[in-house]
Amino acid sequence: MARTGGRIRNAEAHKAVLTATTELLEECGYQAITIEGVAERSGVAKSTIYRWWRSKPDLVMEAYTALVARIVPEPDTGSLATDLTEFAQHLHTGVRHPPRMRALRGLMAEAQLDPAFEGPFRAWAESRREVVLRILLRARERGEIRPGADLDLAVDQIFGVFWYRLLVGHLPLDPETAAGHMDQLLRGLTV
């Protein structure tokens, strides 16, 4: 995320604030997070946090962006099937941690209810969509995807399964089934 003002951040303090925010989000939920609580947990002054982030939504989504980028990295193996399978496996593994699953559900709900949170959440979701879109674009450049395939729809299908199963809970998000899901998706995309 772009810097939002204040002095240049001390990297260690910045990391401490993001870690504290993520921990509090997964322990207590979005509504319970306060800048005061983040300051206490991180050991970084409240005034510093206010200088570095414009709002609680910006802070929370920057923290979650850092976490998700770490636990769901962007694969680039040179194979569309392998890249999508690895991505989906990491995505599904990431929510096997029940506090993380609750946090994600809470963030989605908050984005529907709080206009101030909707923008930062949408920007985060778009950043994750861009990861999958880059995977698909690389595959198209390699000739693995048929011309005219709707890549935006493919991205929606990948995340649609994830979010639907996360929110409804009718079937598990099982990393072992990721390869099969991606195989089924690829039948509609590939040459």
On whether both 50 and 94 belong to a single domain, the answer is: no
Examine the domain organization and report whether 42 and 83 are in the same domain.
no
Q: Residue 2: pLDDT band by 50, 70, 90 thresholds?
A: very low
- Please determine, for residue 4, whether its predicted confidence score (pLDDT) is greater than 60: no
Q: Is residue 157 domain-shared with residue 98, that is, in the same domain?
A: yes
Average pLDDT, the chain: 92
Residue 65 lies in a domain: no
- Count the Cβ atoms, other than its own, within 10 Å of residue 65: 17
Q: Tally the domains of the chain.
A: 2
Confidence tier at 189 by pLDDT (50, 70, 90): confident
pLDDT at 112: 96
Integer-rounded Cα radius of gyration of the chain: 18
Rounded to a whole number, what is the largest CA-CA distance in the chain? 56
79 and 118 belong to one structural domain: yes
DSSP secondary structure letters along 168-187: H-SS---GGGHHHHHHHHHH
Q: Residues 25, 84: one domain?
A: no
Nearest to 149 by CA among 107, 115, 191, 180: 191
Report if residue 66 sits inside a domain. no
Residue 3 has pLDDT above 50, yes or no: no
The verdict on 41 and 94 lying in the same domain is no
Identify the residue whose tokens are 């999508």.
84
Examine the pLDDT at 7 and tell me if it is beyond 70.
no
Q: Domain containing 24 — which CATH number?
A: 1.10.10.60
Angstrom distance (rounded) from CA 59 to CA 9: 14
Q: What is the pLDDT of residue 72?
A: 95
CA neighbor of 180 nearest in space, from 78, 92, 76, 97 = 92
CATH code at 84? 1.10.357.10
Residue 133 lies in a domain: yes
Q: Is residue 18 part of a domain?
A: yes
pLDDT tens readout for residues 155-187 = 999 999 999 999 999 988 889 988 888 988 888
State how far the Cα of 132 lies from the Cα of 1, in Å rounded to an integer: 19
Place 59 in a pLDDT band, splitting at 50, 70 and 90.
very high
pLDDT band at 152 (very low <50, low <70, confident <90, very high): very high
Mean pLDDT on 82-109 = 94
What does the pLDDT read at residue 191? Answer: 60
User: Do 77 and 139 reside in the same domain of the chain?
Assistant: yes
- Regarding whether 48 and 141 lie in a shared domain, the answer is no
User: What's the domain range around 34?
Assistant: 11-55
